[in-house]
Structure 1
Amino acid sequence: MSKAVLITGGNLGSVAENLEAAREAISREVGVVERCSSVLESEAWGFEAEERFLNQVLVVATALPPEQLLERCLQIERQLGRVRRPGPRYGSRTMDIDLLFYDNRVVDSDRLTIPHPRIAERDFVLAPLEEVLPDYVHPVLKKTIRQLRRELLQAANPPGADGMKN
């Protein structure tokens, strides 16, 4: 069995219920959910939205290869009301399921990039990821999740940014 790390999230509809439904569907259709982070509430990333997002990281033992896992996640999104439309990349949604890691594999195809290319830019990903896999080493960046989060938080609030001397 391979280990896949997924993040589920959304900001439309019954978001907490959708997160639970996604977790249950992943358990039925993808594999054994071995670990779950707590649910994190966050602002939208990459666009403006009135509704805040809820996100949760899941560590899943799966027999599905990465491409099939992606397709199954897209099916679950659709089952939970996700409609993908042409236009802006980022927007409000009932459910989004991203594949963050798959074992220590690096995949770069037209359809799939693993590890997810924007992990290190997003605290709404790193915070719950740090909760469940703090010492996991990113296979491309060669840093632990804890290190990546610390660097992101330091970049967002550099020493002296508050006007105080260090």
Structure 2
Amino acid sequence: MKINHVVYLSIGSNQGNKLVNLQNAIDLIADQVNSINKISSVYKTASWGFDSDDFFNICLKISTHHLPEQFMQILLNIEIELGRKRKDSSGYADRNIDIDILLFDDEIIFSKLLTVPHPKMLERKFVLIPLVEIAQSIIHPIEKKPLSICLLNCNDSAEISKIDAQLIRPVPITEKYNYIAIEGNIGAGKTSLSKMISNEFNAKIILERFAENPFLPKFYEDKERFAFPLEMSFLADRYHQLSDDLAQLDLFTNFIVSDYYIFKSLIFAQITLQKDEYLLYRKMFDLMYKEITKPDLYVYLYQNTARLLENIKKRGRDYEQNIEAGYLQKIHDGYKNFISTQQNLNTLVIDVSELDFVDNIEDYNAIIRQIKKSS
């Protein structure tokens, strides 16, 4: 489990469309450093230390698992992405975006890249006023006083005014959803993605216990004989696991991610069972399905058949090595039909055929952005 740090930032802009600049910075920060908890009002003030256009300034409260210098480097890259061009001189200058770390937990940091608390923050009302708005009771690590008292003691005489504008706080995944189910064909990467999301967002994870099923290797050797006991054992295990783990949603507001949804039982049963077996199986399934908590978001990872076969071969499970392309296509068709008929299930289909989200952080972030933007 990653440790979440609470960080306070100051962001300013005095070039171009300043409100758009601030919102773009907010959106990129939310994408790359976990979640934004609070955004202050927007304040206008004259340029500080030089004559130029007025600045718009805000402060943010952030949650992030990144360490201080790593976090600072991300912010510097965001400034560059937004067009910030730093000059060689040490004096003050116009800037379309300026992002500073004010506080990082209650740490005191002196490094080549970063000084925390920000050494100038107590001298600047355009920093303290928006900061106190969202963190008035926070204690300054060096002064050992609440920020509200630090503001009263500030000697800055510059005029600062709140403007009538409201910036949009991106809603983090952990606030938007309580339960996400990630599905996909055999070898699509659903377990890998579930683990990565669980790790990043400190989510409780529910993983299918396929390795514990004694019928699975036997099924791949003799499908006709072992299909029914395999599907029944999977259905029973999935029902008990989801019932037990998802019961927490009734008691807590935990964030839960699973690498399967119980409906996959019916999809596989349609392919593997004889007609009379399937009719009996369907009666049992319908009884259980009514009792299972539905996910807030159902994510289906589409992977083309060639990549699926490549992934199956790479992970090296002996009993999977003889899986044929036709069998994988039948599974995909089953999922496709299921998704098209579930009008009350919030579904997101993501094509991962050209993505390597396990080894490429940009591909992983692209998936997270799609999840965040889903309705």
TM-score by length of 2: 0.40
Cα distance in 2 for partners of 1:32, 1:12 equals 26
Alignment correspondent of 1:4: 7
Secondary structure of the equivalent of 2:101? strand
For 1:117, the aligned partner's letter is: P
Cα distance in 1 for partners of 2:157, 2:79 equals 31
Alignment correspondent of 1:16: 19
Alignment correspondent of 2:108: 106
Cα distance in 2 for partners of 1:150, 1:66 equals 29
Cα distance in 2 for partners of 1:100, 1:89 equals 20
- Deviation of 1:40 after TM superposition, in Å, equals 0.7
Matched, 1:43 2:54: no
- Residue ranges of structure 1 left out of the alignment (5+ in a row): 158-166
Cα distance in 1 for partners of 2:90, 2:105 equals 31
- Deviation of 1:88 after TM superposition, in Å, equals 3.6
Q: How many percent of aligned residue pairs carry the same amino acid?
A: 35
Cα distance in 2 for partners of 1:53, 1:89 equals 16
Which of structure 1's runs of 4+ aligned residues deviate more than 2 A? none
Q: Which deviates more, 81-90 or 20-29? A: 81-90
Cα distance in 2 for partners of 1:11, 1:115 equals 24
Matched, 1:30 2:67: no
Secondary structure of the equivalent of 1:59? strand
- Residue ranges of structure 2 left out of the alignment (5+ in a row): 159-375
Deviations along 1:42-67, one digit per CA (max 9) or x if unpaired, are 11111111x10001100000011000
Secondary structure of the equivalent of 2:20? helix
Alignment correspondent of 1:83: 85
TM-score by length of 1: 0.90
Larger strand percent = 1
Secondary structure of the equivalent of 1:4? strand
Pairwise CA RMSD of aligned residues? 1.3
Alignment correspondent of 1:160: none
Deviations along 1:12-45, one digit per CA (max 9) or x if unpaired, are 1111001000000000011200011011111111
Larger helix percent = 2
- Deviation of 1:113 after TM superposition, in Å, equals 0.3
Match of 1:130 among 110, 129, 132: 132
Cα distance in 1 for partners of 2:11, 2:42 equals 10
Give the count of matched residue pairs: 155
Cα distance in 2 for partners of 1:97, 1:28 equals 16
Secondary structure of the equivalent of 2:154? helix
Say which one has the larger Rg: 2
